[in-house]
């Protein structure tokens, strides 16, 4: 038989020389519920019953052992699985061929107190009660258990100093991954780190951003919830509340239920053990709290103990992660036949053996399950227990140097630390096809089924698989859900919504509500010129320079390019008046040409009159260059044409004014002025004044010509396409020169207004220049303050107004006489020599 070394705490150094260590038993010995001797022994701690009855603690007599009742079917099945696996190994010719495995299975009643008592009994062994010496060695090579995380923490901390390997089939607390605190702990289930993160992923997958959370107030619940909360924060999920309670705290449970009633979250993460879940279910049923989407964990999501008359009303549609079901071949028959015949204590002949202190009365509740195996296909932890037993067997197989034909070296001395190291190296495949190995934390790879509480056609509750999570796969393949197969809370086919605030549509952004989680926000419309083209956008994006937001603020569109066009009403009106002015001027020219020999046309140099009419026609027509889409050529043409034609026009008026003055000066005795300002000099003066303006325009176009410019400063939503002046000095010089000539003309005409004549043209020139100067003085502030195309409209209006002023003031009186008063169109009347009617 294999020999054991010291387990960790030596007692020999406390013995006196030549003296054996003595002990005295203080309490009643605790015996295993089910046991069997073997060459090597494996211990086990399972909650085979669930209700613990405490003895009297009055200390008037020796306390009795704790008693347990109410069979926990899941705990009983894992015990049977362990025995089944050991029987398989003992009958195997390839695994530990000549070594028999014994077992000692203790019932913990789901109680930490009983679990601690059973742990001490396992470590001491039954020989402790029978002998009077203690050699300080544990009789076990490994312990299978516990099933709950908190109890497993106690077990591992207790056995840790003695380096006894502990292999748990269902303790999932992430805290147990700490190899420094639990160096000899292993588990055939994944850490809750994966399950907790997967819970956050499933919440994110379904678009729930507002959830509640309830967890068991123990190592399992607290550690699992901590990982979930951290992951939820990373994924942008808000937790409205996070409450916890323990199965023995009814006041905290009531507080949890009140919190659930007041909350607005429709989805709850329930990180509870099956015991706490039973308590919560009972309270929720009593309070008639329904319509909540429960997201559960492997500890309760497939627990048959939760199925009752009212459970589906509360838990119907629940989703959760469950340990994968594994079909162990032959186990369903074993639990109703071989187990009762070979392993069950009351089946043994020596029922009153003092070694076991058996009383078959304590097994009566278990005997009621003798012919029941319908639950076996749904037992999800049995496969983990099966793997745990085989993992221990494989580690012993390697340590004992077993060969299939030669057998194992029974006399080898094995230290418990060697078993721990051997467990770290195990890598095998069980008959169901699953590979078993432990990672650096002592756990196996995370593999879960996603199950959904559904009702079958006969009304029975089924845990229907609707997806899976497999951490061994690549990240994009780990999580698969068949959403179309899910039945939601209340039997609904439509996924429930659970948000603090509804999603912000495109065109808005989220604005956090003060003092509330980030998932609670208001939807603020994007500002003008900004867009958001996604749902739940945190910020609005500024449109590029030539773009602007549409009415819905969800798309950037090209800004409207604004300019004075021929097709709009304002453009049409201005074109009409421009052409009307040009046409009217042409008619006057035709009239004057037809009456060119009459005194009123010949007066004051008819040649200048026709040149003035020609320039006025150009003034009217040059306004058309200001209408339409600005181009490089149109921008240069409009300002230069305007400047040159107006100088030509004013030069003609100035020439006519000088002619009037010179004409009357020439009537004075000895005056010879007219020979210095005859027709040739008049033409030359007009040409000289115009050439100066032409020179100014040429310099302007050469140095810094006008050009098309997209003005995006005045209107944010529109682009004003305008002609930039290029050189403000050039434009000022053009206008200034026109103004200088106009002022000079006005002064001369004003001086000549009192000269005697029946038709003194100087008076009309004075009025025309007065209108001209008034228009252009008014134009400057209007031009500066008018936005966009109105700037151009103001300039066109000034051109037309001043042109019409010149046309009407200078030529209207003459046209009136030619057409309506032909009798006054005589030389005598022009010279003022016609006698008045009173004479």
H/E segment holding residue 643: helix 632-666
Do the strands 238-245 and 293-296 form a parallel or antiparallel pair, or are they unpaired?
Answer: unpaired
Highest mean pLDDT among 66-75, 322-331, 735-744: 322-331
pLDDT band at 15 (very low <50, low <70, confident <90, very high): very low
Of 372-386, 519-533, 716-730, 769-783, the range with the lowest mean pLDDT is 769-783
List, in sequence order, every residue forming a beta bridge with 269; answer none if it has no partner. 213, 295
Where does residue 129 fall: left (phi above 0), alpha (psi -120 to 50 degrees), or beta otherwise? alpha
Whether pLDDT at 121 is above 80: yes
Count CB-CB contacts under 10 A for residue 389.
28
- At residue 674, the pLDDT reads 53
User: Can you tell me which residue has the tokens 């078959």?
Assistant: 360
What are the tens digits of pLDDT across the range 232-258?
A: 999 989 999 999 999 889 999 999 999
Do the strands 435-437 and 427-429 form a parallel or antiparallel pair, or are they unpaired?
Answer: antiparallel
Whether pLDDT at 345 is above 60: yes
Whether pLDDT at 59 is above 50: yes
Whether pLDDT at 500 is above 80: yes
Query: Residue 286 burial by CB count (10 A; 0-12/13-18/19+): exposed, middle or buried?
Result: exposed
Residue among 532, 489, 385, 520 at smallest CA distance from 85: 385
What are the tens digits of pLDDT across the range 628-666?
A: 898 888 888 888 888 899 899 888 888 877 776 776 655
- At residue 158, the pLDDT reads 93
pLDDT band at 12 (very low <50, low <70, confident <90, very high): very low
- At residue 129, the pLDDT reads 46
pLDDT (average), residues 10-31: 54
Count CB-CB contacts under 10 A for residue 725.
19
Contact 218, 455 (CB under 8 A): no
Whether pLDDT at 283 is above 50: yes
Percentage with pLDDT > 70 across the chain: 86
- At residue 830, the pLDDT reads 64
Q: What is the biggest distance separating any 2 CA atoms in the chain, rounded to whole angstroms?
A: 177
- Please give the Cα distance from 654 to 647 (Å, whole number): 10
526: which DSSP letter?
P
Of 322-336, 377-391, 438-452, 779-793, the range with the lowest mean pLDDT is 779-793
Whether pLDDT at 22 is above 70: no
User: Can you tell me which residue has the tokens 């002046």?
Assistant: 725
What are the tens digits of pLDDT across the range 503-560?
A: 899 999 999 888 888 889 999 999 988 999 998 888 999 998 888 999 899 999 998 8
Backbone φ, ψ for residue 555 (5° rounding): -155, 140
Contact 830, 758 (CB under 8 A): yes
- At residue 754, the pLDDT reads 65
Backbone φ, ψ for residue 240 (5° rounding): -65, -40
- Please give the Cα distance from 792 to 798 (Å, whole number): 10
Where does residue 342 fall: left (phi above 0), alpha (psi -120 to 50 degrees), or beta otherwise? alpha
Whether pLDDT at 5 is above 80: no
- Please give the Cα distance from 283 to 270 (Å, whole number): 14
Q: What angle do CA 601, 605, 609 make, to 5 degrees?
A: 65
Residue ranges of E strands in 255-324: 267-271, 293-296, 319-323
- For residue 155 the two structure tokens come to 């077990």
Q: Which strands form 447-455's sheet, in the order they lie side by side?
A: 238-245, 210-216, 267-271, 293-296, 319-323, 447-455, 461-470, 479-481
Contact 629, 709 (CB under 8 A): no
Residue ranges of E strands in 126-262: 142-144, 166-168, 185-187, 210-216, 238-245
Half-sphere exposure of 237 toward its Cβ, with a 13 Å CA cutoff? Answer: 28
Whether pLDDT at 131 is above 90: no
List, in sequence order, every residue forming a beta bridge with 216; answer none if it has no partner. 245
């Amino acid at each position: 038989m294999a020999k054991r070394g010291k387990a960790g705490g030596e007692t020999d150094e406390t013995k006196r020389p030549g003296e054996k260590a003595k002990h005295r038993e203080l309490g009643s010995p605790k015996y295993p519920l089910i046991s069997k001797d073997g060459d090597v022994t494996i211990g086990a701690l399972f909650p085979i019953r669930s209700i613990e009855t405490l003895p009297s603690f009055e200390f008037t007599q020796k306390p009795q052992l704790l008693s347990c009742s109410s069979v926990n079917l899941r705990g009983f099945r894992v015990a049977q699985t362990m025995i089944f696996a050991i029987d398989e190994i003992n009958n195997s010719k390839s695994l530990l061929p000549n070594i028999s495995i014994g077992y000692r299975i203790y019932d913990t009643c789901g109680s930490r107190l009983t679990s601690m008592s059973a742990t001490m009994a396992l470590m001491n062994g039954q020989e402790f009660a029978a002998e009077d010496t203690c050699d300080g060695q544990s009789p076990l090579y490994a312990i299978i258990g516990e099933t709950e995380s908190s109890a497993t923490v106690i077990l591992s901390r207790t056995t840790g100093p003695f380096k006894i390997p502990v292999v748990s089939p269902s303790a999932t607390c992430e805290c147990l991954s700490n190899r420094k605190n639990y160096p000899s702990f292993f588990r055939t289930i994944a850490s809750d780190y994966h399950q907790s993160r997967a819970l956050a992923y499933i919440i994110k997958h379904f678009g729930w951003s507002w959830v509640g959370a309830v967890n068991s107030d123990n190592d399992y619940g607290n550690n699992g919830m901590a990982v979930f909360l951290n992951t939820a924060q990373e994924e942008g999920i808000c937790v409205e509340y996070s409450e916890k309670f323990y199965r023995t705290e009814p006041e905290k449970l009531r507080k949890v239920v009140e919190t659930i009633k007041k909350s607005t979250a429709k989805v709850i993460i329930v990180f509870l053990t099956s015991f706490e879940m039973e308590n919560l279910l009972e309270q929720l049923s009593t309070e008639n709290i329904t319509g909540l989407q429960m997201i559960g964990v492997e500890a309760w999501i497939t627990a048959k103990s939760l199925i009752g008359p009212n459970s589906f009303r509360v838990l119907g549609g629940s989703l959760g992660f469950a340990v994968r079901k594994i079909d162990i071949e032959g186990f369903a028959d074993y639990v109703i036949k071989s187990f009762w015949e070979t392993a069950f204590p009351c089946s043994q002949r020596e029922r009153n053996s003092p070694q076991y202190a058996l009383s078959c009365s304590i097994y009566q509740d278990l005997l009621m399950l003798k012919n029941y195996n319908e639950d076996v296909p749904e037992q999800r932890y049995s496969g983990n227990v099966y793997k745990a037993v085989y993992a221990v067997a494989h580690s012993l197989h390697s340590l004992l140097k077993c060969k299939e034909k030669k057998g194992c070296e029974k006399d080898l001395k094995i230290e418990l630390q060697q078993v721990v190291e051997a467990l770290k190296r195990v890598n095998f495949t069980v008959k169901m096809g699953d590979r078993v190995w432990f990672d650096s934390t002592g756990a196996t790879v995370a593999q879960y089924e996603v199950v959904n509480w559904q009702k079958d056609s006969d009304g029975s509750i089924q845990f229907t698989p609707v997806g899976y999570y497999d951490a061994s796969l690549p990240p994009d393949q780990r999580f698969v859900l068949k959403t179309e197969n899910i039945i939601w809370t209340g039997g609904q086919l439509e996924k429930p919504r659970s948000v603090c605030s509804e999603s912000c549509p495109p065109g808005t952004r989220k604005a956090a509500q003060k003092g509330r989680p980030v998932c609670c926000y208001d939807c603020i419309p994007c500002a003008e010129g900004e867009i958001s083209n996604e749902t739940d956008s945190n910020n609005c994006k500024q449109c590029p320079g030539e773009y602007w937001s549409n009415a819905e603020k969800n798309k950037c569109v090209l800004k409207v390019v604004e300019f004075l066009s021929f097709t709009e009403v304002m453009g049409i009106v201005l074109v009409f008046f421009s052409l009307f002015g040009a046409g009217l001027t042409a008619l006057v020219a035709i009239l004057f040409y037809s009456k060119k020999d009459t005194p009123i046309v010949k007066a004051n140099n008819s040649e200048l009159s026709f040149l003035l009419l020609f320039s006025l026609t150009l003034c009217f027509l040059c306004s058309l260059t200001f209408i339409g889409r600005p181009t490089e050529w149109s921008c240069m043409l409009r300002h230069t044409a305007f400047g040159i034609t107006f100088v030509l026009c004013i030069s003609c008026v100035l020439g006519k004014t000088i002619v009037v003055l010179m004409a009357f000066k020439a009537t004075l005795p000895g005056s010879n002025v007219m020979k210095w300002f005859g027709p040739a000099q008049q033409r030359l003066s007009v040409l000289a004044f115009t050439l100066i303006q032409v020179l100014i325009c040429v310099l302007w176009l050469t140095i810094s010509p006008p050009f098309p410019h997209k003005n995006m400063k005045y209107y944010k939503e529109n682009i004003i396409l305008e002609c930039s002046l290029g050189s403000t000095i050039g434009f000022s010089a053009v206008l200034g020169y026109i103004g200088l000539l106009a002022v000079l003309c006005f002064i001369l005409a004003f001086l000549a207004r009192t000269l005697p004549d029946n038709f003194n043209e100087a008076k009309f020139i004075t009025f025309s220049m007065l209108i001209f100067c008034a228009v252009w003085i008014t134009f400057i502030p209007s031009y500066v303050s008018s936005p966009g195309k109105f700037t151009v409209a103001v300039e066109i209006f000034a051109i037309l107004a001043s042109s019409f002023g010149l046309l009407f003031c200078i030529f209207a009186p003459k046209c009136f006489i030619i057409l309506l008063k032909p009798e006054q169109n005589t030389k005598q009347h022009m010279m003022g020599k016609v006698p008045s009617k009173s004479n």
